Amino acid sequence: MNAPEPGAPEQPLPPGAAWALGDGATVRAFRLAGLRGAVVESPAAARAMIERLRSEGAALVVVTEALAAALEGDGTPVGAGVQPLVVAVPAPAGPGAATTPSERLASAVRSALGLAVGQRAPR
């Protein structure tokens, strides 16, 4: 598996794409769950990427709680009623974090998508 690449994607996005933005560990975890991802080093880089994703029709952007707090502090809308929907999840090392890598991945997926790893989505 390739490591997450910093910065914006090179190709146009498919409509309704789901993305993860943040540190490398968070992005890798969500890539395992099927999301696209980009490592961002600052709230400014995240804000620029969210604007790019918005203009290309992304449906969901997952960010860490710390990044979401920084974005909200700068006036970037996060949460319901925003397109794309920007969802904050705990970082792998945050409070209440799971202890093993598989627990952290399962927790992140459950927080962002409401599904347990290995559980099928309702049809």
CATH number of the structural domain 18-109 = 3.40.50.10580
Q: Which residues pair with 61 in a beta bridge?
A: 19, 86
Sign of CA dihedral 22, 28, 31, 32: negative
> Can you tell me the distance from the alpha carbon of 97 to that of 11, in angstroms, rounded to the nearest whole number?
34
- Whole-model pTM above 0.75? no
> Can you tell me the distance from the alpha carbon of 51 to that of 24, in angstroms, rounded to the nearest whole number?
20
Tens digit of pLDDT for each residue in 47-98? 899 988 888 888 889 998 888 888 887 777 676 666 888 888 876 665 555 5
Domain residues of the chain, as ranges?
Answer: 18-109
